[in-house]
């Protein structure tokens, strides 16, 4: 069959399944799906947007028959390009299957567990659970920009919450391509939904199953050991990281190497009482001592502990201000819409050569500076005094325990703290959240005088004492801007840099990552390997076992982009990943 004949045949089949309106072949309309939110992008033959699980199954059947690569995509909010094509060196066309029209969430056992369908979001889950006094696994960061439940599980995402660890489940419904090239459906949800694939998928989406059809298998719906693991502050390994073989199981950690229709996960009771403490110090050792004390001696583990270096504080204050104001004034539910508007504005602006690059970002940045300072006075006072800022959230009996500890601790140690009002707590957490996108905005506004952005997501060992980075002078001299922030209790740090003009960022990254190898650190910590990092042996073997023909999300983690995993090497990645 000629390429033209192939194109016509598959395109018509996809249109017949999901409709012409939801089969995108125009380059301009495909771009929001074929380009990552921060990096990555490539050519896709088509983007399809099914409205049901049965339509997804039929699309997969057509794609397997046509022998194309499938990329399952939910919210496309990943930061390492792992849900889009990467470059052009694939041996087969790529079809992106966007699942965001399939957003149903079903409650089990009065909301103690839920089944999230392929496009369901963390924000939607948070709203769904509120009447039951429960909350999702993740309630910071990704939930605010519309990240999906299934995407979080597939990428082992999250872990900001000290008691819960990364997103994980052993109960899911997925399709995979066998060694013989056959598409099969696997139902490990613990729900009796029938036997035929279309019957199973229709019964799930329509929720026609009865209470008697719900089973409670001896399988985890969350990482229920993490709260014990993180307490071991003398362990020589990190508490969590993306390549961790302990948490690679079917859909969990699959990074799109399976077509996941639904996951079943645990939910958690909303605390009756909570208190946020804002801590400042100029000594990294002081923070490390507090971390070790709280994890190893407290009866009640804190809820979270978000770290900001003063450089991140300042950049976030100026270049994350518009995101802060939108969320603060309009709520998190507006963020996905804002991203959609931004993409539309930029797409139209690119049609005119006189319009600047990233036009929407520039307009939002200028507009944000018209508003007064949005941060509370006590935070600003701490910024003037301290280099290191730590936002520690506690709940229930842990509030009094933390208060008593901090009162005693700062009698003899450098630094200080204050107990946030509810408003200050919201402001501090939101300021930390918008940090993630602030460096990109900084680069957009100042990039003509700077080199490339280089990001690292690293998990240091639990027993690491010298956690704050001090770079060798020969590396430091190549960097113009540094940002440090992260989830300090689990030693997960986001270390972002902008190179000086003309510096090879990939080469600098290799040098820094090599130093982490010596220290026993793992990377990435919570962002999927995407097209930024090489999948290490355990993860690479998991991918190959899960997807033996390399039909789904080929090339992820620097692996082969070729059918049946031919030529599994770096030469097809183009990602500058570090071994």
Query: Coil, strand, or helix at residue 349?
Result: helix
Q: Which residues have CB under 8 Å from 344's CB, separation 6+?
A: none
Q: Which residues have CB under 8 Å from 250's CB, separation 6+?
A: 170, 172, 174, 186, 188, 258, 546
455 labelled ligand-binding: no
203 labelled ligand-binding: no
17 token code pair: 């399944």
Cα 232 to Cα 164, 293, 397, 468, distances in angstroms? 15, 11, 21, 20
331 labelled ligand-binding: no
**Is residue 480 a contact partner of residue 451, using CB atoms and an 8 Å limit?**
yes
Q: How many CB atoms lie within 10 A of CB 16?
A: 12
3-class secondary structure for 372-397? CCCCCHHHHHHHHHCCEEEEEEEECH
438 labelled ligand-binding: no
75 labelled ligand-binding: yes
Q: How many angstroms from the chain centroid is the CA of residue 308? A: 19
Q: How many CB atoms lie within 10 A of CB 347?
A: 15
Gap between the Cα atoms of 444 and 447, Å rounded:
5
Gap between the Cα atoms of 410 and 286, Å rounded:
10
What are residue 412's phi and psi, to 5 degrees? -120, 0
76 labelled ligand-binding: yes
**Angle formed by the axes of helices 359-368 and 321-330, nearest 10°:** 70
138 labelled ligand-binding: no
CA angle 209, 157, 510 (to 5 degrees): 150
78 labelled ligand-binding: yes
52 token code pair: 């049901």
CB-based burial of residue 131 (10 Å sphere; 0-12 exposed, 13-18 middle, 19+ buried)?
exposed
Cα 507 to Cα 82, 503, 514, 569, distances in angstroms? 21, 9, 11, 19
255 labelled ligand-binding: no
Burial 488-513 (b: 16+ CB within 10 A, else e): bbbbbbbbbbbbbeebebeebbeebb
Annotated binding site for FAD: 74-78, 82-83, 141, 148, 158, 260
Annotated binding site: 74-78, 82-83, 141, 148, 158, 260
């Amino acid at each position: 069959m000629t390429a033209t004949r192939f194109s016509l045949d598959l395109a018509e089949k996809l249109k017949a399944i999901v409709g012409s309106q939801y089969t995108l072949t125009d380059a301009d309309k495909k771009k929001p799906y074929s380009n990552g939110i921060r990096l990555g992008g490539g050519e896709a033959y088509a983007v399809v947007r099914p409205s049901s699980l049965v339509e997804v199954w039929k699309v997969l059947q057509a794609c397997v028959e046509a022998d194309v690569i499938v990329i399952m995509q939910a919210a496309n909010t990943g930061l390492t390009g792992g849900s889009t094509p990467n470059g052009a060196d694939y041996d087969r066309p790529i079809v992106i299957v966007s699942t965001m029209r399939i957003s149903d969430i079903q409650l089990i056992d009065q909301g103690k567990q839920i089944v999230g369908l392929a496009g369901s979001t963390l924000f939607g889950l948070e709203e769904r659970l509120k009447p039951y006094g429960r909350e999702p696994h993740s309630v910071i960061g990704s939930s605010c920009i519309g990240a999906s439940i299934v995407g979080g599980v597939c990428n082992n995402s999250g872990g900001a919450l000290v008691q819960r660890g990364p997103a994980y489940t052993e109960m899911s419904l997925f399709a995979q391509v066998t060694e013989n090239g056959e598409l099969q459906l696997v139902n490990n949800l613990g729900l009796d939904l029938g036997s035929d694939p279309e019957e199973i998928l229709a019964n799930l989406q329509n929720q026609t199953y009865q209470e008697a059809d719900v089973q409670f298998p001896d399988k985890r719906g969350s990482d229920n050991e993490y709260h014990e693991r993180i307490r071991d502050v003398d362990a020589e390994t990190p508490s969590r990281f993306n390549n961790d073989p302990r948490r690679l199981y079917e859909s969990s950690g699959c990074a799109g190497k399976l077509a996941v229709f639904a996951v079943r996960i645990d939910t958690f009771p909303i605390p009756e009482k909570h208190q946020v403490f804002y801590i400042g110090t100029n000594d990294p050792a002081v923070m490390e001592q507090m971390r070790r004390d709280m994890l190893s001696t407290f009866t009640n583990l804190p809820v979270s502990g978000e770290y900001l270096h003063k450089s991140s504080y300042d950049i976030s204050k100026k270049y994350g201000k518009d995101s802060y104001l939108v969320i603060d004034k309009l709520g998190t539910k507006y963020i996905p819409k804002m991203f959609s508007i931004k993409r539309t504005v930029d797409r139209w602006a690119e049609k005119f050569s006189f319009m600047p690059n990233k036009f929407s970002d520039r307009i939002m940045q200028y507009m944000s500076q018209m508003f007064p300072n949005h941060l509370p006075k006590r935070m600003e006072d701490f910024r003037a005094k301290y280099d290191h800022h730590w936002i520690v959230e506690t709940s229930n009996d842990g509030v009094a325990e933390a208060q008593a500890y901090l009162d005693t601790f700062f009698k003899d140690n450098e630094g200080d703290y204050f107990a946030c009002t509810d408003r200050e707590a919201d402001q501090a957490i939101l300021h930390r959240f918008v940090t993630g996108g602030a460096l990109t905005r900084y680069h957009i506004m100042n990039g003509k005088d700077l080199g490339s952005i280089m990001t690292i997501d690293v998990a240091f060992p639990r027993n690491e004492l010298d956690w704050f980075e001090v770079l060798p002078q020969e590396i430091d001299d190549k960097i113009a801007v540094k940002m440090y922030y992260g989830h300090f209790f689990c030693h997960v740090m986001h270390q972002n840099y902008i190179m000086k003009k003309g510096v090879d960022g990939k080469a600098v990254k290799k040098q820094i990552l090599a130093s982490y190898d010596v220290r026993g650190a793992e990377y990435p910590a919570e962002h999927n390997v995407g097209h930024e990092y090489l999948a290490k042996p355990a993860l690479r073997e998991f991918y190959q076992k899960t997807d033996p023909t390399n039909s789904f999300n080929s090339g992820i983690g620097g692996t082969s982009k070729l059918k049946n995993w031919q030529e599994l090497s770096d030469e097809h990645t183009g990602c500058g990943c570090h071994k």
